[in-house]
Amino acid sequence: MKKVLKWIGMVLGSLIGLVLVAGIVLYLMGNARLNKTYEFPPSNIDVPTDTASIEYGRHRAETLCQGCHGKDLGGIENWFSAGPLGTIDSANLTSGEGGFGREATSVEDYVRAIRHGIDPEGKPIFMPAVVSTANLSDEDLGAIIAYVKSVPPVDHVTRGHQFTPLAKIMLVVGMLPPLPVEVVSHELHVSAPARGPSVEYGKYLVDTNDCRVCHGPGLNGGPFPDPTIKVITPNLTRGGEVGFWTEEQFVNTIRTGLTPSGHELDPALMPWKDYQYMTDDELSAIYKYLHEIPKLEQYTK
């Protein structure tokens, strides 16, 4: 009996030891991924100085950046916060104290963040939107940078990402999404179709606005990207409710957050309060695109 107990003790002891060692190894691997430095050739983006371009940059930033960085672009503390995983503050983009505008030494630093998902030192940032903002055309990216550089300074020191060892382990075993720098295409030059209410421009807007991050690669719904929120997003193809909406109903839904069937879209889940600033042409383009893509069944788990 004693022998058996001793034997069980030894097996358990070595198992616990193994788990500990595996945990430490995974943790170190996670650390290595977060500290890896990347380098990409410069895009040499033109940053326009004329008012029309800066105004256009403001318009794009309104739908693309403010939801996460705040209306004054001063950054949001605990933009993501989940006790056991850690926290992420979105960056202060202005030139005030603690702002990226003060830290950045060149336009290329902005391009590194928005197109490649790395900080000025080449290390990964955890800005999930990079999978969409990497698709911004050179022209749009230049206009957005011009606008961001023009906003009044806000003094606000933010802390970036603070991941716990558990989060680093989950990153390595694939329980957290990969880092944006690991998945985007790193194109140096991107062009966009002409602006206007066309299917092609609608695709470009969908590709640059995070719709796929939440509604899935085929836009037929998917798991909400924040793993702590258990929601399946609705199908935007003709296989879903949107397929039965007129263009006017679609535009009204994005502007008011109220669907034709009277359902209120939760602005904490579906960022219609950012998208409501899209112009009629932009929303028309997205509607046309959604009605053109393959009709798919609603994603279910």
Q: Of 37-45, 49-57, 59-67, 170-178, which part binds ligand HEC (CB under 6 A)? A: 59-67
Which residue carries 């955890």 as its tokens? 126
> Does 56 sit near ligand HEC (CB under 6 A)?
no
Query: 67: how many CB neighbours lie within 10 A of its CB?
Result: 19
Interface characters, 170-209, with ligand HEC (x: CB under 6 A): ------------------------------------x--x
Q: Rounded to the nearest whole angstrom, what is the least distance from the CB of residue 128 to ligand HEC in the complex?
A: 5
Residues 206-239: b if buried by 16+ CB within 10 A, e if exposed: bbbbbbbbbbbebbbbbeeeeeeeeeebbbbbbb
> Does 113 sit near ligand HEC (CB under 6 A)?
yes
- Tell me, what amino acid is at 59? H
233-239 long-range contacts (CB < 8 A, ≥24 apart) are 233/269, 233/270, 233/299, 234/298, 235/296, 235/297, 235/298, 235/299, 236/211, 236/290, 237/290, 237/293, 237/294, 237/295, 237/296, 238/290, 238/291, 238/295, 239/295, 239/296, 239/297, 239/298
Choosing from 28, 188, 192, 265, the residue that interacts with ligand HEC (CB under 6 A) is 265
Choosing from 43, 87, 90, 135, the residue that interacts with ligand HEC (CB under 6 A) is 90
Interface characters, 14-43, with ligand HEC (x: CB under 6 A): ------------------------------
The Cα diameter of the chain in Å comes to 86
Interface characters, 207-226, with ligand HEC (x: CB under 6 A): --xxx-xxx--------x--
Choosing from 107, 111, 242, 251, the residue that interacts with ligand HEC (CB under 6 A) is 242
Choosing from 111, 119, 139, 176, the residue that interacts with ligand HEC (CB under 6 A) is 119
CA distance 41 to 104: 17
**Which positions touch ligand HEC (CB under 6 A)?**
61, 64-65, 67-69, 79, 88, 90-91, 93, 100, 110, 113-114, 119-120, 125-129, 133, 144, 148, 160-161, 206, 209-211, 213-215, 224, 231, 233-234, 236, 240-242, 253, 259, 263, 265-266, 269-271, 275, 286
